[in-house]
Amino acid sequence: MKSASIIIPTFNGASRIGFCLDALIPQVALHNAEILVVDDGSTDNTAESIERFPKVRLVVQANAGPAKARNTGAREAHGNILLFTDDDCVPTADWLTEMLAPFSDPETVGVKGTYRTRQAGLAARFVQTEYEDKYRLMAGSADIDFVDTYSAAFRRDRFLEMNGYDTSFPVACAEDVELSYRMSTRGWKMKFAPDAVVYHTHPDTFSLYLKKKYKFAFWRVLAVRKNPAKGVKDSHTPQIMKLQLLLAPALVAALFVDLFARPRVFLSVVVLVLFFVSTLPFALRAAKKDIAIGLLSPALLAGRACFQFVGVFAGMIYAARKSLK
């Protein structure tokens, strides 16, 4: 029996997965671990690119999405601990050690690691700053309820008991959140491992970043719909972000009031001031590390709030239609 199994789902990942495997292979011997790549029906030469890694086990399935691929890997795995990362991630040399360490506590069921990037562009630097602000929140929690698949680990028996990831999520978005929400609802202990790092390529333009925020908000609606209590609070989402999301439609409503009621104090100005004030804590923390990101933060957070609101609204419509079927 292996102590751990690292599962990497991939679809047409021939050009990127080699970097991930090169980083992982030196780590597995230290922990009697194995690596499984689940090819989700790739149409490129992914299978051939895996062949140059004889220590990697390849599992092939018809294209069914990343949630199904991870579940397939979990069933095929020989390890007591299941670890997940993505084919575009490059783990650091001690990633496996850091991910496994919290399992020395027999009550620990899940573990979450962190992202870093080597990109120098403004958009990627902002994304990294945003992640690190959420990590700051999680580091202050004894337990967490939010484990992303880019750096995730679970006890195999518990994972299978939960039937793994929900395959009703057709894209790689929020199915990992939904599983960790379900585990948390059962009272299972999950831990944050800030030194378990994988390097990643973040969105390199602000348009791609905002599209990603829309996508995350859209699919998070489904995860919260299945676990309603987590809509109030989780260990990953700053509460101020929810307020900012609500201020986006509030501004539209205020503009209508200003236009037709013509109050002495323009409500739209009040809303804009409130929003700006709400961004200051993040902006000041960001400026200590990166002055450019700190200065840009209010505008970028405004854009984020707008795209998230539209994503939540569209997600609610999608969830309502889905429930009627």
Q: Which domains does the chain have, with CATH numbers?
A: 2-203 (3.90.550.10), 239-324 (no CATH)
As a whole number of angstroms, the distance between CA 145 and CA 232 comes to 13
The DSSP call for residue 32 is T
As a whole number of angstroms, the distance between CA 147 and CA 219 comes to 15
Phi, psi of 91 (to 5 degrees): -70, 150
At 1 the pLDDT is 58
3-state secondary structure (DSSP) of residue 6: strand
Cα 2 to Cα 51, 78, 101, 256, 298, distances in angstroms? 22, 6, 16, 63, 49
Cα 139 to Cα 84, 143, 192, 195, 215, distances in angstroms? 21, 9, 7, 11, 26
At 325 the pLDDT is 62
Interacting residues of 101 by C-beta distance below 8 A, sequence separation 6+: 193
As a whole number of angstroms, the distance between CA 49 and CA 86 comes to 16
At 319 the pLDDT is 87
**Bridge partners, residue 5, by sequence:** 34, 82
**Bridge partners, residue 73, by sequence:** none
Q: Kindly give the confidence (pLDDT) of every residue in the chain, 325 residues in length, as a single tens digit, with 9 standing for 90 and above.
A: 569 999 999 999 899 999 999 999 999 988 999 999 999 999 999 999 998 998 999 999 999 999 999 999 999 999 999 999 999 999 999 999 999 999 999 999 999 999 999 999 999 999 999 999 999 999 988 899 999 999 999 999 999 999 999 998 877 788 999 999 999 999 999 999 999 999 999 999 999 999 999 999 999 999 999 899 898 899 989 999 999 999 888 988 888 888 887 777 788 899 999 999 999 999 999 999 999 999 999 999 999 999 999 999 999 999 888 776 6
